[in-house]
Amino acid sequence: MTLTQPMRVAALQGDEAVAEAVRQCDVDVVAAYPITPQTIIVEKLAEYVADGRFRGEFVPVESEHSALSACVGASATGARVFTATSSQGLAYMHEMLYNASGMRLPIVMAVANRALSAPLVLNADHGDMMGSRDSGWIQLYAENVEEIYDRTIQLFKLSEDPRVMLPSAINFEGFILSHDKERVRLLDDEPIRRFLGRPKPKHKIDPDAPLTFGAIATPDTYYEFRMQQTEAMKNVLHVFDEVEMEFEGFSGRRYGAVDAYNTDGADVVMVINGSAAGTMRAAARALNGSGEKVGVLAIKLYRPFPMEQVVSHLAQARAVVAMDRSLSPGAPSGPVSEDVKSALQLAGLTKPIMSVVYGIGGRDLSTDDGKNIFGMAKEGGTFGASTVMYGVKI
């Protein structure tokens, strides 16, 4: 890989990396409200504006509902728009999430994932975004700070593609990634701006040619509008590959919709999303070093769900472990596990699946925990039974 430029290397927290990416992406409007653990993003962007390093409009709104409302209005004018939130903030945006996707506005949002109240907790799980899973937003999960940075840039390109025109969210666990300082190879502004171009929406608000966005529908048309969204979401799967390929061309970095470690010929494959994927890979590597045959499939692109790729990486496994960092009380299992089961069933594959919940409210998951979970799968005692609530104190 020949790189078109030398890299600047910086030690950045996940939140700082998002702010830097937003500054570089030539964003026109940011409307956001601070909430732990996303606050640093908003602080940094406000600082950039004050220092004259960011030319976009920063709208300091009074709530998250207003933040996304302002984003919806700004995006309808054809501007490039960004917001960020966490937990209760995302919950407060819930209504507007559907307006953004329904009006087909390519807003990009960073979500520093945090568990929901009550009881109030500041630490991570995926419960906030999983609660908005069906809102019609593209949903990506990152594993490390450099990936957060890269994905933020990629999402503008993906969302603004005329075949897509859907809002998107880059998810990364609060504190674990939002406040973790890691080595990031920063890219230069110029190739990023060449990669992104400027948004070219088919429709935009213009006082000289008035349009109505999000007009009322009837039972005669609403279903058809939602069908358009559903088809656009399907288009994401191949547009995502194009975006990744083009991004790799100037950055040398590519992640895929899924990341497969040792899934070929593995006895047990664990499916997981978010930062714990790396921890589980380390656990798998250690086990494989002592003669086991285990693999890890990290889901990067969660919506749309890359069914074909998931199935192809699980096809040879004797058993599957599906890991969820969120709770769905009363459901057969967590949302990731449900998706894995559906994908396998639709492909005509029947396999023993162990559904595991972990990391709720920021509970740590170590490599030893990973080894334990693979060990449980090997023993085979929990397949088909109720979801394993891993690490809960009993």
In the numeric block, the tokens 């494959």 are attached to: 269
CB 139 within 8 A of CB 303: yes
Pick from 3, 7, 50, 217 the residue near another protein by CB under 8 A. Answer: 217
Alpha-carbon gap, residue 18 to 306, rounded angstroms:
25
Please, which residue, 212 or 350, has the CB nearer to another protein? Answer: 212
Q: Does 77 bind another protein (CB under 8 A)?
A: no
Q: Cβ 160 to another protein, closest distance in Å?
A: 13
Q: Cβ 226 to another protein, closest distance in Å?
A: 9
Please identify, among the stretches 213-221, 246-254, 267-275, 347-355, the one whose residues bind another protein according to the rule CB under 8 A. Answer: 213-221
Q: Cβ 104 to another protein, closest distance in Å?
A: 4
By DSSP bridging, strand 168-173 and strand 138-141 are parallel
Output the six-digit token pair for 307.
């069914």
Contacts (CB under 8 A) with another protein, residues 147-166: 165
Q: Cβ 67 to another protein, closest distance in Å?
A: 21
Output the six-digit token pair for 337.
């596990």
Q: Does 214 bind another protein (CB under 8 A)?
A: yes
Pick from 1, 224, 290, 350 the residue near another protein by CB under 8 A. Answer: 224
CB 172 within 8 A of CB 14: yes
Of the candidates 17, 274, 281, 19, the one whose C-alpha atom is nearest the C-alpha of residue 145 is 17
Q: Does 68 bind another protein (CB under 8 A)?
A: no
In the numeric block, the tokens 């390519």 are attached to: 106
Q: Does 63 bind another protein (CB under 8 A)?
A: no
Q: Does 234 bind another protein (CB under 8 A)?
A: no
Residues near 376 by Cβ (< 8 Å), separated by ≥ 6?
354, 382, 388
Contacts (CB under 8 A) with another protein, residues 97-116: 102-105
Please, which residue, 236 or 323, has the CB nearer to another protein? Answer: 236
Please, which residue, 230 or 342, has the CB nearer to another protein? Answer: 230
Please, which residue, 81 or 103, has the CB nearer to another protein? Answer: 103
Q: Does 95 bind another protein (CB under 8 A)?
A: no
Alpha-carbon gap, residue 184 to 153, rounded angstroms:
14
Among positive and negative, which fits the CA dihedral 264, 269, 273, 274?
negative
Residues near 223 by Cβ (< 8 Å), separated by ≥ 6?
none
Applying CB under 8 A, the site for another protein has a residue count of 22
* DSSP 8-class letter at 214: S
Please, which residue, 36 or 101, has the CB nearer to another protein? Answer: 101
Please, which residue, 2 or 218, has the CB nearer to another protein? Answer: 218
Q: Does 200 bind another protein (CB under 8 A)?
A: no
What stretch of H or E contains 170? strand 168-173
CB 377 within 8 A of CB 354: yes
Please identify, among the stretches 13-21, 223-231, 280-288, 289-297, the one whose residues bind another protein according to the rule CB under 8 A. Answer: 223-231
Phi-psi region of 380 (alpha: psi -120 to 50; beta: other; left: phi over 0): left
Strand partners, 92: none
Pick from 2, 6, 212, 330 the residue near another protein by CB under 8 A. Answer: 212
Please, which residue, 58 or 225, has the CB nearer to another protein? Answer: 225
Where on the chain is the footprint of another protein (CB under 8 A)?
Answer: 102-105, 165, 202-203, 209-215, 217, 221, 223-225, 227-228, 231
